[in-house]
Amino acid sequence: MTGEPVNVNEFRELARQALPKMYYDFYTGGAEDQCTLKENEEAFRRIIIQPRILRNVRCIDLSTTVLGYNISMPVMIAPTSLQKLANPEGEIATARAASACNTIMVLSTSSTYSLEEVAACCDAIRFFQLYVYKRRDISAKLVQRAENNGYKAIVLTVDSPRLGRREADVKNKLVVPLLKNLEGLLPTKFVSDEKGSGLAALASGTLDASFCWEDITWLKSITNLPILIKGVLTREDAIKALEVGVDGMIVSNHGGRQLDYSPATISVLEEVVDAVGGKVPVLVDGGIRRGTDIFKALALGAQAVLVGRAVVYGLAAKGEKGVNRVLEMLKEELELTMALSGCCSVKEISRSHVRTKHDQQLRSML
């Protein structure tokens, strides 16, 4: 590819050129047939934007708040593991870009820099993503460390009692690098065997498959931080999450990397938003590659979106500057979409600005 990238997909091509095949496959791959992975993007394409004309859009305000924290745009950085595979500065570069763009970074438990190192590198607003391990004391120590180092919320991943079958990682026999957050707590390097990847070996040996709704009470008892759960895809689970007292939800299918043929996140976002009824913020990730995607998610009720792969593509291609450019690119695209749709602020983006496949079916029945 010649010239500077002008969209996220072009950053993906630069990442492909920069990374060894094993690492590129790790970041881009999904579970099994990768149906959910593909559908995450395709589902956005079936949503039509309905613009309003002759509005004064001279000044566009993209700012918003999440859990009371002011950010420059409704775009956050999703927890993405093993970022040193993309660039030697890994999560440090990503955190600095988040700070420069005045948005929130969610740091993965499976980061290749420790949560302390990331906290010390800049003043970005940071949340900490948590897995619950068979040894609960390890998870408790991680939560305590996050709280002590200025992280503002815990993002509990709830869709991974086991790791999804990521066949590219199996074929490549992915080797997991040092996981700094687990140093001294667990064996931090698992080597793949003939049956699969090192990441799968790590997950099967450590994650607590018995963790359930009742255990949210335990997590709330060990921290004063707000807790968001990441992995909600149904109305029923959204209602249950409210009952156990979470502070927010992320509609997520783990980027299509867990259960294949689970729904695209944008296709169930409105169901979850309706069930929550404004009681807690609802965020969404999965398949977001354009400012128009962000606009559609906001119109369907998301308070903000999270982007993961797009950030990694920027990181692999151009390090911190690449992450910064990806975030600015999405911000610029969203601003343009808002202007062309007649919206001066994110608060003005409403359900009437989009038409879904379901809306079209209802109209055809009238």
* Residue positions annotated with a catalytic role: 254
HEC-encoded secondary structure of 215-282: HHHHHHHCCCCCEEEEEECCHHHHHHHHHHCCCEEEECCHHHCCCCCCCCHHHHHHHHHHHHCCCCCE
Residue among 120, 172, 177 nearest 150 (CA): 120
Long-range contacts of 102-105 (CB under 8 A, 24+ apart): 102/70, 102/71, 102/72, 103/71, 103/72, 103/73, 103/75, 103/76, 103/77, 103/327, 104/66, 104/69, 104/71, 104/76, 104/77, 104/152, 105/76, 105/77
Residue among 345, 127, 305 nearest 227 (CA): 127
Paired residues of 64 in beta bridges: 71
CB 127 within 8 A of CB 107: yes
325 backbone dihedrals φ, ψ, rounded to 5° = -70, -40
